[in-house]
């Protein structure tokens, strides 16, 4: 597999990420994808379980910023509802939005992790800046039509998700 497309960590969902181990690794900032990472694609409601996870993130004093390619209005609405910074229409995997997120959070490359469900946006973008990248399985199959096409490429690049280093940090 091409190294720039390989996540440092692969887990089932955000709920399987050991936040304390991220703290121990020196991580201080989390760049979070929105759709199919935190909540389902274009899902309007924030589940209680996600609110609890975000509270656990906050208790560990992580800075957080949602970076999403979705429309600004959707991303900003989510951001206001949960009280974290966000950048919509990010243009991932371009580096600009990742850099903006780090600037807003006051973090650097060595202490920032990217969490997302897509190899060609989240993982590629984070790896291009040498950030700690975490790939999660998409929450559901409902996605934008272009994303469904890109998933086929992901399967070719990641021949077997289960072969990735699940859970080891």
Strands (E), 74-128: 85-87, 112-116
Of 112, 147, 127, 111, nearest in space to 34 by CA = 147
What is the C-alpha to C-alpha distance for residues 50 and 53, in angstroms, rounded to an integer? 5
Per-residue pLDDT of the chain (169 residues; tens, 9 = 90+): 588 888 999 999 999 999 999 999 999 999 999 999 999 877 878 999 999 999 999 999 999 999 999 999 999 999 999 999 999 999 999 999 999 999 999 999 999 999 999 898 999 999 999 999 999 988 776 655 565 556 566 666 665 554 444 444 3
Residue entry with tokens 């060595």:
110
CATH fold of 3-158: Rossmann fold (3.40.50)
**pTM metric for this prediction:** 0.86
Of 27, 15, 3, nearest in space to 169 by CA = 27
Most distant CA atoms of the chain, gap in Å:
39
Q: Which two tokens stand for residue 156?
A: 């070719």
Domain ranges of the chain: 3-158
């Amino acid at each position: 597999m091409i190294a720039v497309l390989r996540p440092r960590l692969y887990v089932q969902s955000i709920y399987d990420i050991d936040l304390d181990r991220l703290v121990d690794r020196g991580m201080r900032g989390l760049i979070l994808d929105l759709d199919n990472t935190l909540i389902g694609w274009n899902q309007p409601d924030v589940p209680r379980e996600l609110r609890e996870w975000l509270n656990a993130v906050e208790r560990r004093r992580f800075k957080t910023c949602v970076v999403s390619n979705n429309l600004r209005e959707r991303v900003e609405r989510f951001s206001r509802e949960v009280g974290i910074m966000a950048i919509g229409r990010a243009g991932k995997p371009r580096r600009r939005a990742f850099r903006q997120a780090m600037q807003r959070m006051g973090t650097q490359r060595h202490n920032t992790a990217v969490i997302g469900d897509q190899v060609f946006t989240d993982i590629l973008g984070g790896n291009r800046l040498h950030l700690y990248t975490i790939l999660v399985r998409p929450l559901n199959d409902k996605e934008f039509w272009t994303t469904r096409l890109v998933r086929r490429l992901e399967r070719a690049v990641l021949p077997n998700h289960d072969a990735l280093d699940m859970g080891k940090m």
